[in-house]
Amino acid sequence: MQTGLNMSKSDSGLILSGSRISPREAALIERLKTLKMKSGSHSPSMTSIQEQIPEIEVKIDACFLSNPYATDLFMDFFQREVIATGRFRSLIECYPSQNRVISELLAPCLNTSAENIFIGNGAIEIIQAVVHRFAGKRMLVNLPTFSSYYEFATESMEVMFNVLDKEDNFRLDLQACLKKIRDERIDSVVLINPNNPDGSYLRQKDVRDFVRELKHLKSVIIDESFIHFAAEDDSFELKSTVALVNECPNLAVIKSMSKDFGIAGLRAGYAVMSADRVRALLSNGYLWNSSGLSEYFFRLYVRPDFRAEYEKVRVRYIKETQGFLETLKSIPGMRVYPSQANFVLAELLSGECSDDFVNRLLVTHGVYVRTCSDKIGLKGQFIRVASRNWKENEGIIAGLRYCLEQ
Amino acid sequence: MQTGLNMSKSDSGLILSGSRISPREAALIERLKTLKMKSGSHSPSMTSIQEQIPEIEVKIDACFLSNPYATDLFMDFFQREVIATGRFRSLIECYPSQNRVISELLAPCLNTSAENIFIGNGAIEIIQAVVHRFAGKRMLVNLPTFSSYYEFATESMEVMFNVLDKEDNFRLDLQACLKKIRDERIDSVVLINPNNPDGSYLRQKDVRDFVRELKHLKSVIIDESFIHFAAEDDSFELKSTVALVNECPNLAVIKSMSKDFGIAGLRAGYAVMSADRVRALLSNGYLWNSSGLSEYFFRLYVRPDFRAEYEKVRVRYIKETQGFLETLKSIPGMRVYPSQANFVLAELLSGECSDDFVNRLLVTHGVYVRTCSDKIGLKGQFIRVASRNWKENEGIIAGLRYCLEQ
């Protein structure tokens, strides 16, 4: 049995809550519950767990939504160009460039103008800025969703939910959604594509048609933070609705770099939106919101040599992820929903609460998956499982099989 | 002659605009002017200059307001603990901790509660948040000042200026200021101590009395970003008004870490304010506004071993800076104003425009000082000169002497 515990061999297996866990494991689970309660709407980070409950060895962080091969690639460049050369001192010591300087670098790669690009300290800063500044009074958010979209709503806003149906695989019915927008006098709408946390994907053509129908709204927000993982066909071509911004000035396309490039610690993201909106944001804020290291990332991101290497690890990761998802579907005891992202939403069929299952998997196997019990629109039996590298994916599969069999 | 130019020896010295500069130097100065025009309210960074005008070798960046010995110290720890151990991968790959986790670390060092601490992506993010969210309709800002305080005002705010008198060494007369606040029905006030860009300092006792007189205002913002460099006496004791927050819930004390710790590229700052205000900010934003590296910095900042070493380089730097300022005062051709910060404001007495002087100093000596021509309240003859390490300070003095003699 693989174990995530520094426990003595003499710990005897006991049946607690219907599962084979030792009293020590049960005690650790209690401590995890306390930590989770203190962590708000997002799972406690691996660092927090390791610091506060060092007895638990987190072996595989399958909460963490990133392409680990892209991190390897970035670290290769970083080691060669920043560490080996001593350049990191200037990245740490000096002020980074201002927003507009980085936008100008990015513009050719995004096939848009610098004046349409806003650089964020992670996509999360942009979500906050766009929701606070450009959303209207009645904003529609599909459920389940990334919670910041409703948590960041201001007091003067009303958030309306469009609940996606699990029986329909959380597919967003765009026609029904348009009707709801009309009927309920919605003035702003959020669309995450592929959606987080279920991974459901809308084809680009359909999204474009949808956005064009909504030119009268105050804001249409499309979050493409996971779009690098989506593949409409075997060409694995990168898709984006960025080009629509010229035609639809109410559109903001938001993109995190944390997921596809595996660099969440650097905090890098961007949005493409109307030049007026970018100007409005920059006119009284966001002066030095990049760091030296995130600026280094953006300067790397636009380089053809890096992009060519990145494209290889992107396609490799998508293919491995597709294989991983197929295997997950074959594990008895859970229902896996279709996904075009680098994670899946799965429903536990035993009736066990997802919080308990997640803690059990972590304590017995060192595999950390995301409970969705805190997500509006998902009852207590949902977990989100990220695809990691092929070896970790094998560990995730083994852990899930073991815990679901009990 | 020390030169910042890769110029051929055969370039002959010519008298242009009354100064000994070559035609090539004159051409570089023209390019600098264009770059400055494109950089908005803040000087172009060293990186921008080096990228866009590589012919200029910036040898000493005396725009840059930081303690270089503190950077050396930070880099020592960073090299040992992050680079040598390979730990930088996890700082780059993983999500940083959320705001509250870092506040809890800091609380004991700041002698306040975690719920009173807000962590920022640099002080600049906090200035934006506090001005946008907690300032009232009529905000008083002393002039000269750090421009973001008025640039970040929202459309619904009116910024009132209290112009400090150069004949009185830019000293803020607190009694006159209180009268102005009463007479002009000011509801929010900003105080930078020591002030940027002139370095004038108000003693802690006077600041406390002032803040206590203003409990009826909506907001009192005290920016202590340079307070680590101030010394009221030979004990060099660290001062702060943080403790007043409990008594005055309208007070926000803002602190950049870029200056005293020399880590501007990491983006780290904090504010201490009422728990209600911190909660209001965190309730709908600022989720992951630290980076992995800024979190590492904060974790280091609270460690007694680091603090003990830091205290040594802080006092060393203050003493050297005091000597540097005394020498600057002895240079003919400029008037140096009293400063308790790590920079001085100086007025050129020849009548030469500060933009021209700064460009001439950069192109002929590779010494980059800050023109203040874009600062409201300072006419065209002011420059701001930062104190660097002792060797660089010698270079700054030599360059200034040369250019002022002409």
Nearest CA in chain A to B89: A75
Kindly state whether B122 is in contact with chain A, defined as any CB-CB distance less than 8 angstroms.
Answer: yes
Is residue A186 packed enough to be buried (19+ CB in 10 Å), middle (13-18) or exposed (0-12)? buried
The CA-atom distances, in angstroms, between A325 and each of A260, B291, B346 are 18, 31, 66
* Residue whose pair of structure tokens reads 């007895």 in the numeric block: A55
Q: Are A265 and B151 within 8 A, CB to CB?
A: no
Structure confidence at residue A188 (pLDDT) = 98
Largest separation between any pair of C-alpha atoms in chain A: 68
Q: In what order do the strands lie in the sheet with B370-371?
A: B334-336, B343-348, B382-386, B370-371
For CA atoms B82, B87, B92, B94, the dihedral sign is negative
Q: Are B245 and B273 in contact (CB under 8 A)?
A: yes
User: DSSP assignment of A197-236, as one string?
Assistant: TT-----HHHHHHHHHTTTTSSEEEEE-TTGGG--SSTT-
Residue of B nearest to A282 (CA): B152
Question: Quick one: pLDDT at residue A35?
Answer: 87
What does the pLDDT read at residue B40? Answer: 63
CA distance A311 to chain B (A): 19
> How close is the nearest chain A Cα to the Cα of B225, in Å?
15
- Per-residue b or e along B124-140, where b marks 16 or more CB atoms closer than 10 Å to that residue's CB: bbbbbbbbeebbbebbb
Q: Do B263 and A42 touch (CB under 8 A)?
A: no
Q: Residue B279: which residues within 8 A CB-CB, separation 6 or more?
A: B115
Give percent of chain B with pLDDT exceeding 70: 95
Q: What CA–CA distance (Å, rounded) separates B396 from B385?
A: 9
Of B97, B258, B264, nearest to A45 by CB-CB distance is B97
Q: Which of residues 80-99 of A touch B (CB under 8 A)?
A: 83, 88-98
d(CA B312, CA B302): 16
**Cα–Cα distance measured from residue B329 to residue A49, given in angstroms and rounded to the nearest whole number:** 55
Pick the closest to residue B257 from B62, B403, B124, B352 (CA basis).
B124
Nearest to B389 by CA among B66, B1, B76, B79: B66
H helix or E strand, kind and range, residue B305: helix B304-329
Instruction: Determine whether B354 is exposed, middle or buried from the number of CB atoms within 10 Å of its CB (0-12, 13-18, 19+).
Output: buried
pLDDT at residue A133, rounded to an integer: 96
Three-state DSSP class for A338?
Answer: coil
Asked if the model's pLDDT at residue B277 lies above 80, the reply is yes
| Residue B213 buriedness (CB in 10 A; 0-12 / 13-18 / 19+) | middle
Question: In terms of DSSP bridges, do strands B269-272 and B117-120 run parallel, antiparallel, or are they unpaired?
Answer: antiparallel
How many Å lie between the alpha carbon of B391 and the closest alpha carbon of chain A?
18
Cα separation, B100 vs B340, whole angstroms: 33
Say what the pLDDT of residue B42 is. Answer: 66
pLDDT over threshold 80, residue B6? no
Q: Are A139 and A160 in contact (CB under 8 A)?
A: yes
Q: Is the dihedral of CA A318, A324, A330, A331 positive or negative?
A: negative
Nearest CA in chain B to A281: B152
Output the pLDDT for position A325.
97
Distance CA B3, CA A394 (A): 62
Average pLDDT, chain B: 92
Mean pLDDT, contiguous 10-residue spans, chain A (406 residues): 34 46 90 82 75 91 95 97 94 92 96 97 97 97 95 95 95 97 98 97 98 98 97 94 97 97 97 98 94 97 98 98 97 97 97 93 95 87 97 98 91
Please report the residues numbered 317 through 376 in chain B whose beta carbons come closer than 8 angstroms to any beta carbon of chain A: none
Contact in structure between A367 and A375 (CB atoms under 8 Å): no
pLDDT for position B46: 75
Could you give the CA distance from residue A200 to residue A190 in angstroms, rounded to a whole number?
A: 14
Q: Which residues on chain B are in Cβ contact (under 8 Å) with A65?
A: none
ipTM: 0.91
Calculate helix-pair angle for A99-110, A292-301, nearest 10 degrees.
20
Radius of gyration of chain A (CA): 22
- Under DSSP, is residue B92 helix (H, G, I), strand (E, B) or coil? helix
Which pLDDT score, from 0 to 100, does residue A119 have?
Answer: 98
- A40 in reach of chain B (CB within 8 A): yes
In this structure, what token pair is assigned to residue B2?
């020390």
| Separation CA B135–CA B139 (nearest Å) | 7
The tens digit of pLDDT for each residue in B230-262 reads 999 999 999 999 999 999 999 999 999 999 999
Q: What are the backbone dihedrals phi and psi of residue B314, each rounded to the nearest 5 degrees, phi first? A: -65, -50
Estimate the share of chain B in helix, then strand, then coil, as percent rounded to the nearest 5: 45, 15, 40
pLDDT range class, residue B21, cuts 50, 70, 90: confident
What's residue A401's pLDDT? 97
> pLDDT tens, B103-134?
999 999 999 999 999 999 999 999 999 999 99
Question: From B47, which residue of chain A is nearest by alpha-carbon distance?
Answer: A97
Give the pLDDT confidence score for residue B116 in this predicted structure: 98
In Å, what is the CA distance from A353 to each residue of A358, A376, A380?
9, 15, 5
Cα(B306)–Cα(B308) distance, integer angstroms:
5
Q: Does A151 contact B at CB distance below 8 Å?
A: yes
Residue A200, CA atoms < 13 Å, CB-side half-sphere:
20
Closest partner CB to B284 (pick from A42, A154, A258): A154
Contacts of A40 in chain B (CB under 8 A): 98, 100
Strand-pairing partners, residue A188, are A139, A219
Q: Which of A185, A143, A183, A184 is nearest to A164 (CA)?
A: A143
Range B204-217 average pLDDT: 98
Shortest CB distance from A287 goes to which of B78, B148, B286? Answer: B148
The amino acid at residue A10 is S
Alpha-carbon distances of B162 from A46, B145, B250, rounded to whole Å: 50, 10, 20
Distance in angstroms (rounded) separating the CA atoms of residues A165 and A346: 14
Give the residue from B251, B262, B205, B200 showing the smallest Cα distance to B230: B200
- Contact in structure between A384 and A343 (CB atoms under 8 Å): yes
What is the tally of helices (H) and strands (E) in chain B? 15, 15
Listing DSSP states for A107-127 in one string gives HHHHTS-GGGEEEESSHHHHH
H helix intervals, A9-122: 23-37, 46-52, 68-78, 88-93, 99-110
Q: Residue B190: in which H helix or E strand, if any?
A: strand B188-192
Q: Is there a contact between B284 and A153 if contact means CB atoms under 8 Å apart?
A: yes
Cβ pair B263:A294 closer than 8 A: no
